[in-house]
Amino acid sequence: MPTRQADQWTANPESLRGRIAAYGDRHGRPLYAAFRGWVATRPRLARWLLAGPVAIVAGLLFTAAMPVWLPAGSAGVDGLVWSLVLGPLVWALALLYGVLEANLMRGFALFGAVAVLSALLIAGAML
Amino acid sequence: MQGNEEGPVAEPRNGGAAALSQAQMKRLTAVHGWSGTLLGLLLYIVVATGTIAVFAQEIREWSVGASAPPGIDVPVDAAVRKLAAFMPRGVLGEVGIWRNSRGEVVVAFHTHATNPASREEEDFGTVFHLDPATGEVVSRLNDFYSDALWDRDGDALSSFLIDMHVALYLPYPWGYILVGVLGLLMMFAALSGLLMHRHLIRDLFVAARSRSRLVGHRDRHALASSWSLPFAIILAFTGSFYALAFTITSPILTEIAFGGDEEAMEETLWAPPVAEDTRRAEPADLDAVIGRSSAEVGGPAEYVGISNYGRADSRISVWHHPPEGRLTWVQTLFDGVSGAYLGPRPEIGNAFSVGSSLFALMWPLHVGDFAGVASKLVWVGLGATTGFVVLTGLSLWVRRREAEPAWRRFGLAIVATGYGVPLGAVAAAHGAFLSGVSGDPFLWTPISFFATALGCYAAAWRLGDPLRLRHLYLTLLAYGCLALPIVRLFCGGTSWAEALRLGHGEVIVIDLLLFAGGGLMLAWRGSWLRRVVGIEARQPLRQPAE
């Protein structure tokens, strides 16, 4: 059976990737398991959070980061304009997705990824 | 299964469109219904006042008894020079010129000053109203920017209707934010309605069925929402943009892109590009600039904005209504000293781009003023349909729960709000005319509206019978409409003969529409009109609302 590329990367426990993998095993997996368990026991509350504050925060961060990664256009202000104009549409779609997503963990993962990436872009632009 | 609470797909929807499972449909229906129930009445007020406000300009002209002047078609250069000579240099940074609904030329000098009330730096205006024929100053106002400063340029009635629509008459920014949230709700409801609607295409043509089959609230809600769905999405999208762009999004973007420097953001988005040069210079001839701009665009100038009047780096922006064949406003740019034409300029930014085109489209898409009265009528029709969809949606929600007294009372509130907004608008018009004789219309117009709305709720509480309530409201609305032209005339409004002589057609048209509307409502109430259109005169008493 062929070894997966990721396994090869993390095979050496002394390497940086190996240490990150080991850290993830010690802290990340239990945290993920605990959150997954919490979502499973309180799906209704998790849904309210996903389609409410989580969707709003992720939508706001996504909108705020738009001028950073969108092209400025010939006027040099397109990134700002698209963000101004499309903001409410993004928020409405985020709320709709939060209500519709069948897999709550996938919803949290997607919103989390969007929020973290957007926050990194914003931090990079402000620093 | 952890985190996955959905079952298999039940059946394909909308002819193969993305299918929803039963659990997703159940959630969507719950959120669609509950969000509508919690905020639907406020959303209806925003939609209904917005529908009326589409004709705000015509209402303003009818109210003051004068047609809007065809832009800045009188000489203004000499008057502006004379005023600017006596103004401190600090207030010449931004000068605006336009004509108000009374035909006066307005010259507004804008600056910033510390407001002693808030102890913060705020916009401060010195506003002159000039006689268009002589250029003499009719009145002068000095104040921090507020509604009161600009009220003088409008009329109490249309100003109030617009304030209700854009901010529910709440202070800035909270009113805008609430209306923006309602816009998001409307967008969510429209998008979720699109997903929930199983037979969207078929329901578009349900009107082709015989009238006897068009029964029940669900059919009416489905029919109206099917036709108004694209329009509702456009209205919600553009409306929430106007409500939230400058209250929520813009402050966030200012922090991120400009480190919180509002002035830098404003200059980037709105100011014409020019290197700073503070030397004094003789200003360009404004009349020549306006004439050249009108010739370039092919229509009269509506607004002139001057930056740094009397300085070497001065720029003049001239705005025009959308000319023939265009959807959006046109802006031209001139050198403020030489008067040289520098070319057309986008509404936002300094070069035409996809972003500036999208931004410019927001206004005509929201208000429908791109093809004169015809496009406005379409917007009014679709706006009224959207208001009907909100009311029938609420009604459907209540009908499923009408066994409970609390929901029956909510049903009465739906009837009271449904009729209360148009009744309040008519009462506000009466208040505006009557207080115009010897009072303050800007005070009594909102009081008349809110007192009437409260009266509607009190009557609903007292009577408790939806059928009797509708009868009462319809009677009041009918007589209110019929009396309005008479009250307008009695309070010194423009007579039909004078309107004909001066060419103010909107005075006569709106009076006639009010007479016709009042008459039709009386005929409807008297049941013969309902027999003509094939709807039963009497309906079961246990119908909370329609």
Instruction: Pick the closest to residue B318 from B111, B96, B108, B133 (CA basis).
Output: B96
DSSP SS3 for B18: coil
Q: Which two tokens mark B446? A: 């909102």
Split at pLDDT 50, 70, 90, the class of B9 is very low
pLDDT of residue B200: 66
Mean pLDDT on B238-265:
90
pLDDT of residue B135: 87
* B270 in contact with A, Cβ within 8 Å: no
The radius of gyration of chain A from alpha carbons, rounded to an integer in Å, stands at 19
pLDDT in tens, B340-389: 999 999 988 888 888 888 899 999 999 988 888 889 999 999 999 999 99
pLDDT in tens, B60-116: 888 887 776 778 888 999 999 999 998 887 788 889 999 887 788 999 998 777 878
Judge whether residue B211 has pLDDT over 70: no
Say whether A92 and B191 touch across the interface (CB within 8 A).
Answer: yes
Judge whether residue B241 has pLDDT over 90: yes
Judge whether residue B226 has pLDDT over 90: no
Judge whether residue B284 has pLDDT over 90: yes
Q: Which of residues 40-99 of A touch B (CB under 8 A)?
A: 40, 43, 46-47, 51, 60, 63-65, 67-68, 73-85, 87-89, 91-93, 95-96, 99
| CA atoms of A113 and A122, how far apart (whole Å) | 14
| CA atoms of B416 and B422, how far apart (whole Å) | 10
Query: Above 0.90 for ipTM, yes or no?
Result: no
pLDDT of residue B502: 81
Distance from CA of A20 to the nearest CA of B (A): 27
- Chain B residues in contact with A92 by the CB 8 A cut-off are 184, 187-188, 191, 236, 240
Higher pLDDT: B281 or A75? It is B281
pLDDT of residue A27: 78
Distance from CA of B374 to the nearest CA of A (A): 27
Say whether A96 and B21 touch across the interface (CB within 8 A).
Answer: no
What predicted TM-score, i.e. pTM, was given to this entire model? 0.85
pLDDT in tens, A37-63: 899 999 999 999 999 999 999 999 999
pLDDT of residue B303: 94
Q: Which two tokens mark B275? A: 């290197």
Lowest-confidence segment of A78-87, B11-20, B212-221, B255-264 by average pLDDT: B11-20
**Which residue is associated with the tokens 């299964």?**
B1
Instruction: Pick the closest to residue B316 from B303, B335, B299 (CA basis).
Output: B335
Alpha-carbon distance values, A94 to A55, A58, A98, B326 (Å): 5, 8, 6, 34
Closest by Cβ to B355, choosing from A75, A95, A125: A75
Q: What are the backbone dihedrals phi and psi of residue B141, each rounded to the nearest 5 degrees, phi first?
A: -125, 135
pLDDT of residue B221: 79
* Closest residue on chain B to A84 (Cα): B245
* Closest residue on chain B to A45 (Cα): B3
Percent of chain A with pLDDT over 90: 57
Say whether A74 and B352 touch across the interface (CB within 8 A).
Answer: yes
Judge whether residue B4 has pLDDT over 50: no
Q: Which two tokens mark B25? A: 């449909």
pLDDT of residue B475: 93
Q: Is the peptide bond before B70 cis (omega within 30 degrees of 0)?
A: no
E strand or H helix that includes residue B96: strand B94-99
User: Count of H helices and E strands in chain A?
Assistant: 7, 0
Closest by Cβ to A100, choosing from B28, B245, B358: B28
Percent of chain B with pLDDT over 90: 45
pLDDT in tens, B384-430: 999 999 998 898 888 888 788 888 899 999 999 999 999 999 999 99
| CA atoms of B120 and B144, how far apart (whole Å) | 11
Q: Give helix B22-53 / helix B56-64 axis angle, nearest 10°.
A: 30
**Which residue is associated with the tokens 């005023």?**
B83
Judge whether residue B538 has pLDDT over 50: no
Q: Which of B141-150, B214-223, B467-476 has the highest mean pLDDT?
A: B467-476
Percent of chain B with pLDDT over 70: 87
Say whether A106 and B3 touch across the interface (CB within 8 A).
Answer: yes
Split at pLDDT 50, 70, 90, the class of B531 is low
* B257 in contact with A, Cβ within 8 Å: yes
Q: Which of residues 368-407 of B touch A (CB under 8 A)?
A: none
Best of A61, A70, A80, A91 to disrupt the B interface (most B CBs within 10 Å) is A80
Instruction: Pick the closest to residue A68 from A114, A127, A118 (CA basis).
Output: A118
- Chain A residues in contact with B241 by the CB 8 A cut-off are 84-85, 87-88
Distance from CA of A56 to the nearest CA of B (A): 12
Say whether B348 and A75 touch across the interface (CB within 8 A).
Answer: yes
Q: What is the longest distance spanned by two Cα atoms in chain A?
A: 56
pLDDT of residue B215: 52
Closest by Cβ to B3, choosing from A74, A77, A103: A103
Judge whether residue A5 has pLDDT over 70: no
Q: Average pLDDT of chain B? A: 85
pLDDT of residue B535: 56
Distance from CA of B400 to the nearest CA of A (A): 23
pLDDT of residue B525: 79
Closest by Cβ to A125, choosing from B2, B245, B256: B256
Boundaries of every domain in chain B:
69-100+102-153+273-349, 402-546
Judge whether residue B283 has pLDDT over 90: yes
- Chain A residues in contact with B347 by the CB 8 A cut-off are none
pLDDT in tens, B183-208: 999 999 888 888 887 666 666 666 54
Split at pLDDT 50, 70, 90, the class of A33 is confident
Which residues on adjacent β-strands are paired with residue A39?
Answer: none
pLDDT of residue B41: 94
pLDDT in tens, B470-515: 999 999 999 999 999 999 999 988 899 988 888 888 899 999 999 9
Judge whether residue B457 has pLDDT over 50: yes
| CA atoms of B434 and B410, how far apart (whole Å) | 34
Strands B315-320 and B330-335: antiparallel
**Which residue is associated with the tokens 């039709």?**
B520
Say whether A80 and B268 touch across the interface (CB within 8 A).
Answer: yes
Mean pLDDT on B201-220:
58
Lowest-confidence segment of A21-30, B173-182, B381-390, B466-475 by average pLDDT: A21-30
Higher pLDDT: B290 or B213? It is B290
Q: Which two tokens mark A92? A: 């409405």
Say whether B20 and A100 touch across the interface (CB within 8 A).
Answer: yes
